[in-house]
Structure 1
Amino acid sequence: MATFLWSSARAALGGVWLLVCLLSAAPAMADPLPVFEVAPGVFVHAGRHEETDAANAGDIANCGFIVGAEAVAVIDSGGSPVIGHRLREAVRLHTDRPIRYVINTHMHPDHALGNAAFLPDRPDFVAHVRFQAALAARVDHYRQAFDAAVGSAAAAEVRIIPPTVVVADRLELDLGGRVLELVAWPVAHTDNDLTVLDRQTRTLWAGDLLFMERAPAIDGSVLGWLRVLDALAAEPATRVVPGHGPPSAPWPDAAGDLRRYLGRVVEGVRKVQAAHGTIQQAVDTVAADEAPRWRLFESYNPRNVTAAFAELEWE
């Protein structure tokens, strides 16, 4: 588990761009995002349990940064350049050490569209080896969705920027006396999920491999996600930063609700299929009693059941 791919694409920042960002003029002084120091040197901003719109500017996912003796690593950059600028100001409020890395836990726009705000720092952009292809396949869709949600003025600034470091298995990054261990996971929430473990404080940044409070979204494999949660439980962490939910929670207990929900989806879909029921019957019934436990449940459960139905019918 020691192999990784190192892509020295820094020179391509003026040419071939592979990571979607929305670039807008940086404000002279952005209002810093509020952050919680969940462990020494580990700062987290908790996103809202909402869909992206003009009012929240894409501030719907957790993001933050880790400060080492020599440098800073940003982990996820928010859902728009505005949020990215505000996160950058939050970094500067707490330290003047250089931002060496911007790490994306996966390609979904609520986690990666703030990347452009950090270009002046000339960091390495770090992502899963499959991040580039997954993002490139959805550029047009993400642009259209952002345009509809936030406005065409911002969406018109869409460009593509590459990860300069890609992780195929495991990779260590040293911030100066503070080592971060990055792991690229098999298909789960998406096909390009990456986690970050801060060994010093035993804090695990799970990205969207962990949803808390907000309904999860299956964009990869429900069975794969359950397997990855089993593997993640063995990570030597005492706390976790979820992709959505509180700034941090005890690990591995924090995954209990998500594991239960995904298990209910699998169990329910299999039951409908065994009775030769339709996908609509599954959508109408599977995991319905989970609704009171999750924000935005009505928006995401039908999609999750549909995705699980397609996956499980080939078992």
Structure 2
Amino acid sequence: MFEAMALLCTLAGGACREAVLPGYAADTEAACVAALHAHPPDALASMEGIAPVSPRCQPRPPSTLTVTEVAPDTFVHRGAVEEPGPGNGGDVANLAFVIGADGVAVIDSGGSRAEGEAVYLAIRARTEKPIRYLILTHMHPDHIFGAAPLKEAGAEILGREGLTRAMAEREGTYEGNFARFIGEPGFLGTRMVAPDREVGAEESLDIGGHDLLLSPQPLAHTATDLTVLDKSTDLLFSGDLVFDSHTPTLDGSLLGWRKVLAALGAGPATRVIPGHGGPILPWPAGEVDTDRYLSVLETDARAAIKAGEPLSEASRTIGLEEAGHWRLFDVYNARNATAAFTELEWE
């Protein structure tokens, strides 16, 4: 197979990388070139700060993404349990794809366009079936910034009701931060892509042999959490409602998160793909560590409030007994403590 490729470089000419332009795959180079001439790629025009390039066709490159088949036709990539940086290119969250008889559904897309291209190539290494859906589990940049190449490949992007607005409100901050964290060339060509459709109530997607139940969740990890249950395998894709190894991050409601975990734990799933770590855990046992951490935050924050401690002092002690259980604890716990204290103080 042949794919359309382009050399992306900054206007200043300092950094470059080879990029895949999905949507032009063909059995022959001539057919790929003809498709490029018939429909020049819009993606290049949307890449701000990129020097003009001339796309070309070449044999399909291998994917740089490592994936594991955790259930029939179900593949998971485990992101690094690290802060996003040049060494990992923003690849710090788990993502997955399910291959059905009628097409492919992708759950989360990674932290950069380059990672989204790698997801596309990982899928194409296993099937030429159409990529029908990209399901975004929530708004955080390490889960959404790889969306563009999957959309170019034909995927309809789905997210929870409210995701479009949440992404728009944070677009500048997220793009600026990730561009700084990852640096060039890793972030070249990356842009935020809004959902094509928002999910406001439970719905099923049938991709042929895999019936995927999409469930928008109440305010919990964020205000935009969406879970996916594959009814054919009883496998739950939780997004960041479940963490493993990586310290949980609270960007919504502590109490709401605990309620959502309890409800999910009573559901039919037998295994879970967490947003970080794993990449696969038994269910509901897989929620224990996340809920224990949240429970400690709640207990400590209530005690600090009752004792009249100021937030500046309480944020340094809330949750400290959990330090030995998590990586990146020093990065995230203080802000989690602040969020927990603030929420409970106004109960």
Normalising by structure 1, we get a TM-score of: 0.89
Assess, with a 3 A threshold, how the Cα gap between structure 1 residues 198 and 292 changes in structure 2: closer, same or farther. same
Gaps of 5+ in 1: 1-13, 15-20
Asked if 1:70 corresponds to 2:102, the answer is: yes
What is aligned with 1:280? 312
What is aligned with 2:277? 245
Higher alpha-carbon deviation: 92-101 or 181-190: 92-101
State the secondary structure of the residue aligned to 1:138. helix
Q: Which amino acid aligns with 2:138?
A: H
Asked if 1:216 corresponds to 2:253, the answer is: no
Query: Please, which of 97, 110, 123 is the counterpart of residue 129 of structure 2?
Result: 97
- In structure 1, C-alpha distance between the alignment counterparts of 2:337 and 2:193, rounded to whole Å: 33
Assess, with a 3 A threshold, how the Cα gap between structure 1 residues 255 and 163 changes in structure 2: closer, same or farther. same
Q: Deviations over 1:11-57 (max 9, x none)?
A: xxx8xxxxxx9998999625341111111111100000111111111
- In structure 1, C-alpha distance between the alignment counterparts of 2:113 and 2:334, rounded to whole Å: 30
State the secondary structure of the residue aligned to 2:143. helix
Instruction: Please say which structure displays the higher CA radius of gyration.
Output: 2
Asked if 1:108 corresponds to 2:140, the answer is: yes
- In structure 1, C-alpha distance between the alignment counterparts of 2:145 and 2:136, rounded to whole Å: 10
Are the aligned partners of 1:57 and 1:80 in contact in 2 as well (CA < 8 Å)?
yes
What is aligned with 2:345? 313
State the secondary structure of the residue aligned to 2:111. coil
Asked if 1:228 corresponds to 2:257, the answer is: no
Q: Deviations over 1:212-257 (max 9, x none)?
A: 1100100000000001001111221110000001111100000101
Are the aligned partners of 1:22 and 1:116 in contact in 2 as well (CA < 8 Å)?
no
- In structure 2, C-alpha distance between the alignment counterparts of 1:31 and 1:176, rounded to whole Å: 25
Q: Which amino acid aligns with 1:249?
A: L
Gaps of 5+ in 2: 1-41
State the secondary structure of the residue aligned to 1:50. coil
- In structure 2, C-alpha distance between the alignment counterparts of 1:68 and 1:94, rounded to whole Å: 12
What is aligned with 1:10? none
Name the structure, 1 or 2, with higher relative contact order (CA <8 Å, separation 6+): 1
Q: What is the identity percentage for the equivalent residue pairs of Structure 1 and Structure 2?
A: 44
Are the aligned partners of 1:50 and 1:60 in contact in 2 as well (CA < 8 Å)?
yes
What is aligned with 1:177? 209
Q: CA RMSD in A?
A: 2.1
Aligned residues: 297
Q: Which amino acid aligns with 1:127?
A: G
Q: Which amino acid aligns with 1:291?
A: A
- In structure 1, C-alpha distance between the alignment counterparts of 2:115 and 2:191, rounded to whole Å: 17
Assess, with a 3 A threshold, how the Cα gap between structure 1 residues 238 and 301 changes in structure 2: closer, same or farther. same
Assess, with a 3 A threshold, how the Cα gap between structure 1 residues 277 and 59 changes in structure 2: closer, same or farther. same
What is aligned with 2:152? 120
